[in-house]
Amino acid sequence: MPLSTQSQADDEQYVLVASMDNARNLSNILKAITFKDQAIFSATPNGLKVTVEDSKCLQANAFIQAEIFQEFTIKEDLVGFQVNLTVLLDCLSIFGGSTVPGVSTALRMCYKGYGYPLTLFLEEGGVVTVCKINTQEPEEPIDFEFCSNNVTNKVILLSESLKEAFSELDMTSEVLQITMSPSQPYFRLSTFGNSGNAHYDYPKDSEMMELFKCTKTQTNRYKMSLLKPSTKALALSCKVSVRTDIRGFLSLQYLVRNDDGQICFVEYYCCPDEEVEEE
């Protein structure tokens, strides 16, 4: 059943059909949010949003716009389902994870609607694999109520600079403390681990700092274990925006370029660690 000869009639029954010449453009970005097995898929005419949550305190979203796909056909305003993300990733890389230049796996993802499995048609070198992954009713993703109006502090940094800091972070520290301020130290990451306290400062006029808009001095702590998965997104990205709102909620937005140079976004929302008092 080669992808190209799938009949028109088959397509009629699907509420969602999304095709990609290179399945890695989907699997790479999904790897950036795979810290739990279950993922909520929400498809709209704008594209695909994949959500993974952890203990109601952390949410990661990957956005793949319709334009990234070679074909993106949706028959409803919103198509939602839940699947096992680890199984999906194993299916997307069924022909092996190696990156031989010029060889890629073509993907056609199809969904008939509630109660039906997510069907993937994958093709590489003339060999076709068909996967049917069972779906579940999607849980409602948490609304962190993070809106631009309530943002107190925002910086945009080149990922390069944060990658170094995150790779050196003292993981024995239970929390990562983020200080943002219109005055010194401007943007500071702190850890309190077995080796002592460590601070990483980013001055507002640093060449790594693309944007600096801080209105109020804020210090917030976030559980290290919750933020750790975000390093995968950081590794893929070229730029990251860090925002906090009046409640101390954190939004990290990553700009990711795929194999073909197209842009996708990954965002992480995280609640502040309860035990700390706001300054």
Partner 1 sequence: MKFRGKIVDVACLNHVTRVISTISKLTKTCVLRLTADNLFFVLSGKVANGGVSMWCELSQANVFDEYQMEGVSSEDNEICLEVTPENLSRALKTVQNAKAVKVKLTKKHCPCLTIAAELPTLSSISRVVTHDVPVDVIPRRLWHEFKEPSMPDFDVSVYLPPLKTMKNVVDRMKNLSNFLVIEANLSGEMNLKIETDLVSVTTHFKDLGNPLWGDDASQDGGPSPSRDPEAMAQARVDIRKLQQFLMGQQVNPSKAMCNIVHERVVHLILLHEDVSLQYFIPAVA
By the rule CB under 8 A, 90 interacts with partner 1: yes
Q: Contact with partner 1 (CB under 8 A): which of 52, 68, 91, 227?
A: 91
User: In angstroms, what is the minimal distance from the CB of 272 to partner 1?
Assistant: 36
Which three-class secondary structure state does DSSP give residue 261? Answer: coil
**Cα 4 to Cα 20, 57, 71, 169, distances in angstroms:** 12, 43, 12, 48
Where would I find the H helices in the chain?
8-12, 24-31, 85-92, 159-168, 224-227, 230-236
Cα dihedral 182, 266, 159, 19 in deg (nearest 10): -150
Q: Give the type of residue at 16.
A: L
Closer of 97 and 203 to partner 1 (Cβ): 97
Q: Contact with partner 1 (CB under 8 A): which of 11, 13, 46, 96?
A: 96
By the rule CB under 8 A, 133 interacts with partner 1: yes
Closer of 1 and 246 to partner 1 (Cβ): 1
By the rule CB under 8 A, 1 interacts with partner 1: yes
Radius of gyration of the CA atoms of the chain, in A: 20
Q: Contact with partner 1 (CB under 8 A): which of 8, 9, 77, 125?
A: 125
Q: Applying CB under 8 A, which part among 72-80, 126-134, 143-151, 267-275 lies near partner 1?
A: 126-134
Closer of 125 and 261 to partner 1 (Cβ): 125
Closer of 99 and 194 to partner 1 (Cβ): 99
By the rule CB under 8 A, 94 interacts with partner 1: yes
Q: What does residue 146 show for φ and ψ, rounded to 5 degrees?
A: -95, 110
CB atoms < 10 A from the CB of 176, how many?
Answer: 26
Is residue 1 within 8 Å of 126, Cβ to Cβ?
no
Is residue 202 within 8 Å of 190, Cβ to Cβ?
no
User: Using CB under 8 A as the criterion, what x/- string covers residues 162-191 for binding partner 1?
Assistant: ------------------------------
* Element housing 202 (H / E): strand 196-202
By the rule CB under 8 A, 3 interacts with partner 1: no
Q: Contact with partner 1 (CB under 8 A): which of 35, 54, 82, 95?
A: 95
CA 75 to CA 230: how far, in whole Å?
A: 33
By the rule CB under 8 A, 128 interacts with partner 1: yes
Residues that bind partner 1 (CB under 8 A): 1, 84, 87, 90-91, 93-96, 98, 117, 125-134
